[in-house]
Amino acid sequence: MDMFPFGIEKIYVDEKAQKDSVTQKVLSALSNIPAEIIQDKKSIIKKALSASNPLENGKRRLLITHFYGRMLKPCPGTSHHICCGYYVINTMTNCPMDCSYCVLQEYLDNPFLTLYSNWDDLFQEIKVFLAQKVFPLIRIGTGELSDSLALEPVFPISQVLIPFFAERGDSILELKTKSSNVGSILDLNHRERTVISWSLNPHRVIDEEEKGTASLKDRLNSAKRCQEKGYPLGFHFDPILYDEDWEQGYQETIHQLFKEIDPKRTIWVSLGGFRYPPKLKPIVEERFPETRIFLGELFPGRDSKFRYLREIRVEIYRKTVDWLKEIDPGLFVYLCMESKEVWERVFGWAPVNSRHLNFLFEERVRKFIK
């Protein structure tokens, strides 16, 4: 899999980030690409946003800079729905891949692939946060505003985070990816404190809607390699896209997955029907005129995001849970950003609130890791 499926034409280096060792690593790994030291990133971002095709062009430009706000935050979740009490670290924003349904197209106000090189600040922030002991066990992921492993060969943040979390007993790191870039993390001493997760979809959906990502086969091969190295694995069927072929597609994908992967080494599986904020649709329709993601029965919910009709979501989740439980009744399956009513209809029970769900995660982790 190509790390930059759309190529990189230029690197902008914020003068404040110029001397950081990670900046030097990135520049030396990409020494054939022209780099420019910049003083004013805001004006460059503004110019890129006003030019034509900012999203396409942004994926071909790297910006290395410092992040001055909080890099570790609670997952934004969504109102009126049950969230899982997850925390996110943003060391990168934007993604070299180009999934039609990606919410970042609407969410980010900086189109560049942006790498934050002030890692000392980040680790200091993580230490301070963990010392507060907000929950007995904190789950933290890096795959919120980018893909966790897509740029690992040039921006090796996971290779520093994994050993950091290996030393701790109060937290679990989750790396979510659609890539197959696991080579550099396989031999790290992780002590099962890092979960490597893949977002999965049927290969037809990957071909049509997930441009620049690794194939299903490559994702599963990489997962198998991580399993062999003792990493706990997670799988996210999210977004599930509902069409006339969905049952066959997802059922086959689940069988393919567990042909390669031991369900007993799978710490969790999440399910999430396709959902989107209203402003995303016109952007996607313009960038991906062939997309079929909006052709289902999608309606605005209590958080204003569009989702499939509730009875369709319930059908999707019930069937998928059945297929998963047929493989292994002990699989820990949860719903991402779903309402209490949907949880009840799918599982016959629902977490009382987000804190309760977080507690169930803690239990799962404690049972799972040695």
Partner 1 sequence: MNIQKIPLRQIDLYDETFSVNFHPDLKILRSSISELGLIQPVLLRGKGETYQIISGFRRIAVLNELGISDVPSRVFNKDEKDELQLFSIALHENITTRGLNSVEKAIALYKLIYMFKVKPSLVIQNYLPLLDLEPNEKILNTYLSLAQMEEVVKDYVLREEVSRSNIRRLSNILPEERMALIPFLSSLKLGENHLRKILMLLEEISKRDRLKIGEILFRPEIQSILSQNEMTPSQKTERVKKLLLNIRYPRFSQLEKTFEERKRDLNLPPNISLHHQPFFEGKGLRIEFNFETIKDYQEIITFLSQMTDINEFQEMIKGT
**Binding status of residue 294 toward partner 1 by CB under 8 A:** yes
CA distance 249 to 331: 20
- Which of 69, 289, 329, 348 is in the footprint of partner 1 by CB under 8 A? 289
Smaller CB distance to partner 1: residue 70 or 302?
Answer: 302
**Binding status of residue 299 toward partner 1 by CB under 8 A:** yes
Smaller CB distance to partner 1: residue 255 or 292?
Answer: 292
| CB of residue 287 to partner 1, shortest distance in Å | 12
- Which of 158, 180, 181, 339 is in the footprint of partner 1 by CB under 8 A? 339
**Binding status of residue 295 toward partner 1 by CB under 8 A:** yes
Smaller CB distance to partner 1: residue 306 or 359?
Answer: 306
- Which of 47, 341, 352, 363 is in the footprint of partner 1 by CB under 8 A? 341
CA distance 350 to 356: 9
Which residues touch 275 (CB under 8 Å, ≥6 apart)? 239, 301, 305, 306, 307, 337
- Which of 70, 292, 325, 356 is in the footprint of partner 1 by CB under 8 A? 292
| CB of residue 36 to partner 1, shortest distance in Å | 22
Tell me, residue by residue from 305 to 334, as one string, x for binding to partner 1 by CB under 8 A and - for no binding.
--x-xxxx----------------------
H and E: helices and strands count for the chain: 13, 18
- Which of the residues 40 through 69 are near partner 1 (CB under 8 A)? 52
CB atoms within 10 A of CB 229: 14
Which residues touch 239 (CB under 8 Å, ≥6 apart)? 101, 201, 272, 273, 274, 275
The angle subtended at Cα 239 by Cα 115 and Cα 205, nearest 5°, is 95
Outline where DSSP puts E strands in 107-177. Answer: 113-116, 138-141, 171-177
**Binding status of residue 100 toward partner 1 by CB under 8 A:** no
**Binding status of residue 85 toward partner 1 by CB under 8 A:** no
CA distance 117 to 21: 8
Q: Beta strand pairing status for 35-38 and 10-14?
A: parallel
List phi, psi (to 5°) of 151: -105, 15
**Binding status of residue 347 toward partner 1 by CB under 8 A:** no
- Applying CB under 8 A, the residues found at the interface with partner 1 are 52, 289, 292, 294-295, 297, 299-302, 307, 309-312, 339, 341
